[in-house]
Amino acid sequence: MMRAGDALEPGTALHRRYESLQAAPRGRHAAPPPPAGPLPEASALLGRLPGPWVAGRPDYRACYDYAVATLLGSRRAPQPGSGFVSPFLDSAFNDNVFWWDSCFITMFARLLHPYVPGICSLDNFYARQFDDGEICREINATTGRDLPWWTNLDGGPLYSFYDRAYGYRSLTSAAPDLDLATCRRPDLGRVPAAPPHLTLDALNHPVAAWAEWLSFTQTGDLDRLERVLPALAAYHAALEEHLGHAEGLYVSDWASMDNSPRNARLGFGVDTACEMVLDARHLLQIAAALRAAGRRADLDDAALGRRAEATDAAINALMWDPERAFYVDLDADRVRIEVRTIAGFWPLIAGVARGERADALVAALLDPAAFGRLNPVPSVAADEPGYVPEGGYWRGGTWSPTNQMVIAGLAAVGRHDLARELATRHLDAVCRVHADTGTIYEYSSPDLLSAGANDHPAFVGWSGMAPIGFLIERVIGLQADAPTARLTWRLPAAGPDCGVERYWFGGITADLALRHTDRERVVEVTADGPFTLELVGATGTSRHAVTARHRFEAP
């Protein structure tokens, strides 16, 4: 197989620089994970994995089964010489693994833990982390080498390689332009201590601490949290050093949204800024959990908290558009870019949008002229110029990972009913396309229940979020808190019987069912270990001690 660096002409200065970066010390921040045995055959796992069901919806289960089977087929073992240290799940896009894809994949793969290598996929990125904390967004899955275009090939100040070629698949449609003098080099308002190892293209979407925290809520694995916190903290510090602007925001380029209409002028992304706030707050949460358990957590809480608060204030001062009642990006001169994209919802999950501003974001989600489409949530508001009803990639397409962000954000501000509604509508759309085509795609049309112009079928990948994660956590409504041995079930207000067989969290496996009769509505539970079951229903909340087999009246 061709190595990534072979795309550069051997003997050239660019090739030598790339090879020196690939030989640089890596992986000192996270200790190696415990040794993993060989991957078991998929057929040996199917009877152990969760079995979600909703009466009258065989399409949900068919799509779930397809997603699980495809995910099991995407398991990979690390190859010798790659520097990878753990089995992992493929990103389903090309020959590479992707940082933010892998983080989002863990968010639903954790529901299949310990039988699927979900969260341990991130160990390979930590193993390829530079000493200054940088992690490349795209790494060859066989060789462990960074994509050459995302490495700093001239050793100078931060630049964006792709800034000159934004568009759908444009990076692969023509020979890359190696004249680095024409690349955009953002002004940070200060001079970093040293140039980065990677480009601006490679340094985006710090969502790994969120992924690790969600995994912890499912597993209760303090050993893992203690092991990975130094890598997470180093990555956050690297982004502060290389992307942080003197005035409190963070420079951005396309930020993995290839052809978004914001890209032509993008200087400071609202998504990047909010993700840094979210990342800081999860780092603090992880450190607090470790210290509460008597574990080590080397983190400067005060400095991290101050920086997050300053960024929160800058977002609200500079990125809130009062006329559009929405959060928007800024250009390089810190002028607001007047286009509403999916990035404007990151303030919900980050805790940046509060009060009337959070309400305004909810209103935008409900507005059929904006984001309230047939298959929510489109990547661009429908009333923006250039919106593509068929999807158009990031010019309207509905994406499961950004839906995860929106839906988790709604839950964070207490809008659980709307979170369930949007998750259900997106799941319905994904299941309809699966029923018609037999597969799941990279993204979907916001306005048509069809595959549209998609060219990536079998994308599980992050598109497993809807048939696995949304089905279990939002439609059926189960969410675990393994550290406290508590399982919360937000019961559907109305509708058919539903449940999950073999639901696993914190070493406990349980069968749970909500059943209706003419006279009552009951929850039946069978478990192999003790936990607290919290039932949240239309008439209130009830808590029950579960030890074996039980039957409870549903609130």
Per-residue pLDDT of the chain (555 residues; tens, 9 = 90+): 334 445 799 999 999 999 999 999 999 999 999 988 889 999 999 899 999 999 999 999 999 999 999 999 999 999 999 999 999 999 999 999 999 999 999 999 999 998 998 999 999 999 999 999 999 999 999 999 999 999 999 999 999 998 887 666 666 666 788 999 999 999 999 999 999 999 999 999 999 999 999 999 999 999 999 999 999 999 999 999 999 999 999 999 988 899 999 998 999 999 999 999 999 999 999 999 999 999 999 999 999 999 999 999 999 999 999 999 999 999 999 999 999 999 999 999 999 999 999 999 999 999 999 999 999 999 999 999 999 999 999 999 999 999 999 999 999 999 999 999 999 999 999 999 999 999 999 999 999 998 878 889 999 999 999 999 999 999 999 999 999 999 999 999 888 999 999 999 999 999 999 999 888 999 999 999 999 999 999 899 999 999 999 999 999
Residue 177: its pLDDT value, please?
85
Residues 140-173 as b or e (16 or more Cβ within 10 Å = b)? bbbbbbbbbbbbbbeeeebbbbbbeebeeeebee
Largest CA distance in the chain: 80
CA 506 to CA 519: how far, in whole Å? 35
Cα distance between residue 48 and residue 114, in whole Å: 10
What is the model's pLDDT at position 496?
93
pLDDT of residue 158: 98
Whether a cis peptide bond, with omega within 30° of 0, leads into 499 is no
DSSP conformation class of 490: E
**Residue 502 in contact with residue 51, Cβ under 8 Å?**
yes
Cα distance between residue 421 and residue 366, in whole Å: 11
* Contact yes or no for 189/245 (Cβ under 8 A): yes
* Cα separation, 193 vs 127, whole angstroms: 24
Q: Which two tokens stand for residue 453?
A: 């112009």
Please write the tens of the pLDDT for every residue from 39-57: 999 999 989 999 999 999 9
Closest CA to 553 of 505, 519, 510: 519
User: What whole-number distance in Å separates Cα of residue 410 and Cα of residue 418?
Assistant: 7
Say what the pLDDT of residue 163 is. 84
- Chain-centroid distance, C-alpha 198: 21
Phi, psi at 180, each rounded to 5°: -70, -15
Token pair of 389, please? 């009803």
pLDDT of residue 55: 98
Q: Tell me the β-bridge partners of 512.
A: 500, 525
Structural contact between residues 552 and 535, judged by C-beta atoms closer than 8 angstroms: yes
| Cis before 461 (ω within 30) | yes
Q: Are β-strands 486-490 and 531-537 bridged in parallel, bridged antiparallel, or unpaired?
A: parallel
Residue 495 confidence (pLDDT):
81
Cβ atoms 380, 260 nearer than 8 A: yes
- How far apart CA 555 and CA 546 sit, in angstroms, is 17
Looking at residue 3, its pLDDT comes to 43
- Per-residue buried b or exposed e for 414-439, using 16+ beta carbons within 10 Å of the residue's own CB: ebbebbbbbbbbbbbbbbbbbeeeeb
Residues 6+ apart with CB under 8 A from 395: 259, 260, 261, 379, 380, 386, 387, 388
How much is the pTM?
0.97
- Per-residue pLDDT, 385: 95
- In contact, 400 and 466? CB cutoff 8 Å: yes
CB of 57 closer than 8 Å to CB of 467: no
Helix (H) or strand (E) holding 321: strand 320-321
Q: Identify residue 530 by its one-letter amino acid code.
A: P
* Number of C-beta neighbours around residue 229 at 10 A: 24
**Domains in the chain with CATH codes:** 49-76+205-475 (1.50.10.10), 486-553 (no CATH)
